Amino acid sequence: MTLYSHYIPNVRFARPYPARIISEGFFPADMHFHTIHSDGTVSIPSLIRRIQKNGVGCAVTDHNEVSGALAACREKTGLLIIPGIEISTSDGPHILVYFSSPRDLEDFFVHHIREHRRGSPWMLTTLKSSQVLEAAEEYACLRCPAHPYGYLLFNSGLGKCIEKGYLDESLYTQCDLIEGICANMGRQENLRAIALATRLGLPVTGGSDGHIIFDLGSAVTCTKSADPADFLDELKHGRAMVIGQENHFPSKVVTAAAITARFMPWLCPSTRIHCEKLAERVKRFMATRRKKDRTQ
């Protein structure tokens, strides 16, 4: 029996070793990574060099932006680079969308995302989760809720919002994948995400949600194909494995500091958006409390 074959299509919590994975005939890709084209710190040339060095492919998924993904695809290196985007919706969840071609990604962005970005463009759009999921139906792509039970005080996970009653569970029917291991989440949140995917019968992905170069590859999704379109097709049909583990606390602190620094030029609009979201959470909490009081 080969080293990893008995985990397909399951998930393994362990440090990924790219050379070992590749020796087994699989190709690993970090399915959730940010560059300097949004709130990350990694340039596209630096990302390309890292991929060439360690053999881990990458889905470039900048927040509400596609210039980084398109630039990476234009390099024509033959590396496993998947064009993607992470959309921050107005009702909370972050939605990852992976495309078979950079042309489709650009078309989706131009016609459905670009004009809906807020004053702090990487933080929020005016689009609801249902609108993003429906718009993506027009394309050869896969829709995946990012970190379903994240993050801390922020309702940026679809599972978290549905669990709290903010959104309807029917949204799951428009999802193709579930992010099972997000390296910047905690183990319990990831286990809950995997359980959700199992209940829904959806394939699981793994990604770092990285913003610094050292995060790349801390969680990976692996298939038998290094072609981006074929990779996504294998993933869609459940012929993938996920290997990864959560980042250590110091790494998360460095990431948080890096993100904060990247948002400094947008301090005023970002603060206003945070206040708006806090007010929404308070209203929802009070409405839930009143509903419970009436039923008692």
Bridge partners for 96 per DSSP: 86, 144
Q: At 271, is the pLDDT very low, low, confident or very high (cuts 50, 70, 90)?
A: low
Q: Tokens for 218?
A: 């801390």
Which tens digit of pLDDT belongs to each residue from 146-155?
Answer: 999 988 777 8
**How far is C-alpha 14 from the chain's CA centre?**
19
Q: At 5, is the pLDDT very low, low, confident or very high (cuts 50, 70, 90)?
A: very low
Average pLDDT, the chain: 90
Domains of the chain as residue ranges with CATH: 5-265 (3.20.20.140)
Has residue 1 got a pLDDT over 50?
A: no
Q: At 288, is the pLDDT very low, low, confident or very high (cuts 50, 70, 90)?
A: low
Cβ–Cβ contacts within 10 Å for residue 208, how many? 29
pTM above 0.95, yes or no: no
C-alpha span between 5 and 25 (Å, rounded) = 10
Return the percentage of the chain with pLDDT > 70, whole number.
87
Cβ–Cβ contacts within 10 Å for residue 32, how many? 31
Q: Are 32 and 86 in contact (CB under 8 A)?
A: yes
Cβ–Cβ contacts within 10 Å for residue 252, how many? 16
Q: At 250, is the pLDDT very low, low, confident or very high (cuts 50, 70, 90)?
A: confident
Q: Tokens for 63?
A: 């927040």
Has residue 274 got a pLDDT over 80?
A: no
Residue 147 region, left (φ>0) first, then alpha (ψ -120 to 50), else beta? left
User: pLDDT higher for 278 or 131?
Assistant: 131
C-alpha span between 85 and 96 (Å, rounded) = 6
Has residue 38 got a pLDDT over 70?
A: yes
Has residue 259 got a pLDDT over 90?
A: no
Cβ–Cβ contacts within 10 Å for residue 55, how many? 17
